[in-house]
Amino acid sequence: MRAVVQRVSRASVTVDTRTTGAIGRGLMVLFGAGAGDTAADLAYIVDKIVNLRIFPDDAGKMNRSVLDIGGGVLVVSQFTLYGDARQGRRPAFTGALEPAAARALYEQALADLARAGVPHVAAGEFAADMAVELVNDGPVTILLDSRKLF
């Protein structure tokens, strides 16, 4: 499982003209499930997201988590995190989990983030063509992989 986590001052997702999710200060997460991912991969990613200390403390040092600041998390499904462009010019997506299982893990991620104490969990729309808008604060962007490939 992979996630791109961005510290944001605000973020939103729109499908057609409808806003499906929006947050103020918090984390914007691009979420991708890979072939063979399990509940253990999901638990690892959710724990990392909620406990990453990437928000400044009173001294300006990155020492607080999204839970510590009471921030929101906006999660957008993104199978293209498994795009393999090592050969040729068109990426292959064979490493991505099949859609029905990926949807189940995505929906479980939303529930697990809320259960972990995130006060506002917002979402995109699975498998939709989405417009994502965000203001990256810092900028701070962290890459996560449950198999620790990076």
**3-class DSSP state of 116:** coil
Question: Has 6 been annotated as catalytic?
Answer: no
Q: Which of 78, 87, 94, 150 is catalytic?
A: 78
CA distance 56 to 46: 21
> What are the start-end ranges of the E strands in the chain?
2-15, 18-23, 26-32, 55-56, 62-64, 72-77, 120-123, 130-145
Strands 62-64 and 55-56: antiparallel
Question: Has 14 been annotated as catalytic?
Answer: no
Question: Has 38 been annotated as catalytic?
Answer: no
CB 73 within 8 A of CB 29: yes
Q: Which of 19, 38, 80, 141 is catalytic?
A: 80
Residues annotated as part of the active site: 78-80
